[in-house]
Amino acid sequence: MKEFMRKILGLSLAAALVFSLAGCGAKEEAGGKIVNVGVTDSLGGLNPFVIDQTEINKYAVGLMFLPLMELDSELNFQGMLADSVTTEDNIHFVVHINDEAVWSDGTPVTAEDLEYTVRRLASPVVNNTTLMLYAFEGIGDDGFVEEGAESVAGIRILDDKTVEFTSKYPMALTTFENTYARYLHTMPKHVIEQFSEEELLTADWFNHPDVINGPFLLTGFDNDHYISYEANESYWKGAPKIDKLNIRIVDASQIYAGLQSGEIDITHHTMTAIPQEDFESIEALENVETVYGAPITNQSAFIQTANIPDARVRQALVYAIDRQQLVDQLLKGHGEVVDGFLSSASPFFSEEVTPIPYDPEKAKALLEEAGWDGSQTLRFYVNSGDSTFVNGAQVLVAQWAAVGINVEVQTVDLATLMTVAGSTDYDILAVQYTYAPVDPYPDVDWLLSGEGSWTGYHSDEISEALAGTQQTSDIEKIKELYAVVDKKVQEDVPMFSAYIISAQGAVSKRLSGAAPSAYGFFNNVQNWDVAE
């Protein structure tokens, strides 16, 4: 279950493989116009029925199978496969698929495709729990229907292009859009109905699907090294202007060299963890433009409270670390310190929640009060793809040791980190987590859902406040409710934020129609082009 960080030799081989891919940057050559996106997260898979919802998986699949909706760079919901999602009562949600949407074989995308996809995603054989489909009528509280179910009460076809979803309880429109519409990748029923539910997990077709509704066809992939695509000339929103797109999975230390040489054309604000020590060097490059995003990506640390049951010890973990120092030194000031889940980029952020200060003496007093004897060594899992926080984790370990808390860092790749998270076999687990500023509710609700969640923590007070956010559209009221959540999290510390990142992104000056962003990155990828 535990896969440790790749050895130096493995990294060298990975780099050699990645940089031997066709194309040397955003340029027009024998193979046509090729664009390379550099990321540092490893791919978990490309089968929509199997993958978890980490960003690289979502976007890699979304290039072939569009989500229903997506956030744009200004945090507005934009229609992708659907052209509208509406509700009149926060219970019934009507999704209308764009009338122009067609599969690459010319077959119209229909409501049957969407309904069939969701029904199969809810199969206990497929056993994918990441979409939290238990929210809808006809689906069990475990997120599943009966094996082989021919219909689901809460997912009803209204006409050829319209599906109605019925929730078991009030749900804000933004929650439906952000939690479900952004993550449902509609599949072609006329193709995949040939597969049994068991075969949906293993069918080779998903490794090279030839009927898609998105802008690019998959041509090859290696989970640790690359994902390659070619343009879908039949894309219903218009054939892409570039011929090939590569997502290059590299070590963070290779981003600067790739941008400098032109081997990498663009980075992503959350999938690409650019090392802080390279910020100034990248800014100085004449062939790229740098863009710092809003502070939205939370370097979250989740505490498995069953293993650290005393809230005083968890509080001591936060008092013992100088988070502002991390922002100033690791991020060169491009970030902020908050407590809880919300950053200043969220419309629901409350300045009333003042972060716990750096106070090692307070940490020692709390540990003494809790009877902490220092004999326990806490296991701290960190994403190897985030070199900045790999360094930051060592700072935290030293500061914890200074107050008598022994912590051992386990550095693993993102896919392994997600496996560890699901096992709950850890004490602290750190991962960059982008809580959608417009609707953090589903993530926060799940993360604090009690036994089986990444924290193992539950609070009735928090649950009541979160439920309230789903029953009003008043921004000030919602802000008050999230302040309740963040204050309670600050008190009980099932998680803490090491810092919020204003991520650096970079784009080649030869690439037009594209810009680094946390949201909306690929929304109009068909318009990306290489400047003459």
DSSP state string for 388-407:
HHHHHHHHHHHHHHHHT-EE
331-356 pLDDT, tens digit per residue, is 889 999 999 999 999 989 999 999 99
Q: How large is the average pLDDT for residues 224-231?
A: 96
Tokens 């407590």, located at residue? 339
Cβ atoms of 185 and 443 closer than 8 Å: no
504 sits in which H/E element: strand 504-508
Query: What integer pLDDT is reported at residue 349 of this predicted model?
Result: 94
Give dist(CA 267, CA 497) in Å, integer.
24
Identify the domain containing residue 454 by its residue range. Answer: 297-501
Question: Is pLDDT of 502 > 50?
Answer: yes
* Strand, coil or helix: 304: coil
Question: Is pLDDT of 442 > 90?
Answer: no
Q: Report the half-sphere exposure of 303 (CA within 13 A, side-chain side).
A: 28
Encoded amino acid at 16, one letter: A
Question: Is pLDDT of 18 > 60?
Answer: no
Give dist(CA 355, CA 195) in Å, integer.
52
Measured from the Cβ of residue 80, the count of other Cβ atoms closer than 10 Å reads: 23
Residues 315 and 445 in one domain: yes
Share of the chain above pLDDT 90, in %: 80
Residues 309 and 259 in one domain: no
Encoded amino acid at 114, one letter: L
Share of the chain above pLDDT 70, in %: 94
166-175 pLDDT, tens digit per residue, is 999 999 898 8
Query: What integer pLDDT is reported at residue 27 of this predicted model?
Result: 55
Cβ atoms of 344 and 373 closer than 8 Å: no
Residues 363 and 480 in one domain: yes
Give dist(CA 73, CA 517) in Å, integer.
6
Residues 46 and 103 in one domain: no
Residues 400 and 308 in one domain: yes
Question: Is pLDDT of 396 > 80?
Answer: yes
Residues 441 and 516 in one domain: no
What is the pLDDT confidence band of residue 386, given thresholds at 50, 70 and 90?
A: confident
Which range of 224-233, 269-278, 469-478 scores highest in mean pLDDT? It is: 224-233
Q: Where among 139, 162, 192 does a domain terminate?
A: 192
112 occurs within a structural domain: yes
40-65 pLDDT, tens digit per residue, is 988 988 999 988 778 899 999 999 99
Q: Where among 192, 224, 244 does a domain terminate?
A: 192
207 occurs within a structural domain: no
Measured from the Cβ of residue 68, the count of other Cβ atoms closer than 10 Å reads: 27
Residues 333 and 424 in one domain: yes
Strand 92-97 and strand 162-166: the pairing is: antiparallel
Query: What integer pLDDT is reported at residue 22 of this predicted model?
Result: 39
Give dist(CA 122, CA 155) in Å, integer.
11
What is the pLDDT confidence band of residue 532, given thresholds at 50, 70 and 90?
A: low
Question: Is pLDDT of 10 > 90?
Answer: no
Cα-based distances in Å from 247 to 47, 144, 207, 460? 17, 33, 16, 43
Residues 516 and 421 in one domain: no
Residues 172 and 44 in one domain: no
What is the pLDDT confidence band of residue 131, given thresholds at 50, 70 and 90?
A: confident
Query: What integer pLDDT is reported at residue 273 of this predicted model?
Result: 87
Query: What integer pLDDT is reported at residue 11 of this predicted model?
Result: 31
Query: What integer pLDDT is reported at residue 471 of this predicted model?
Result: 86
313 sits in which H/E element: helix 311-319
326 occurs within a structural domain: yes
Cβ atoms of 470 and 171 closer than 8 Å: yes
265-324 pLDDT, tens digit per residue, is 999 998 998 988 899 999 999 999 999 998 988 999 999 999 999 999 999 999 999 999
200 occurs within a structural domain: no
Query: What CATH number did the domain enclosing 150 receive?
Result: 3.90.76.10
What is the pLDDT confidence band of residue 78, given thresholds at 50, 70 and 90?
A: very high
2 occurs within a structural domain: no
Supply the mean pLDDT for the chain.
91
Q: How large is the average pLDDT for residues 356-374?
A: 97
Query: What integer pLDDT is reported at residue 82 of this predicted model?
Result: 98
Measured from the Cβ of residue 487, the count of other Cβ atoms closer than 10 Å reads: 19
Q: Which two tokens stand for residue 488?
A: 């309670």
What is the pLDDT confidence band of residue 96, given thresholds at 50, 70 and 90?
A: very high
Q: What is the pTM of this model?
A: 0.76
Q: Which two tokens stand for residue 201?
A: 């997990």
Sequence-separated (6 or more) residues with CB below 8 Å from residue 286: none
Residues 55 and 105 in one domain: no
Question: What's the domain count of the chain?
Answer: 3
Residues 73 and 54 in one domain: no
As beta bridge partners, residue 136 has: 167
Give dist(CA 452, CA 208) in Å, integer.
34
Query: What integer pLDDT is reported at residue 460 of this predicted model?
Result: 97
Residues 484 and 350 in one domain: yes
Query: What CATH number did the domain enclosing 19 receive?
Result: 3.40.190.10
Cβ atoms of 64 and 48 closer than 8 Å: no
Query: What CATH number did the domain enclosing 396 receive?
Result: 3.10.105.10
Q: How large is the average pLDDT for residues 227-245?
A: 98
403 occurs within a structural domain: yes
199 occurs within a structural domain: no
203 occurs within a structural domain: no
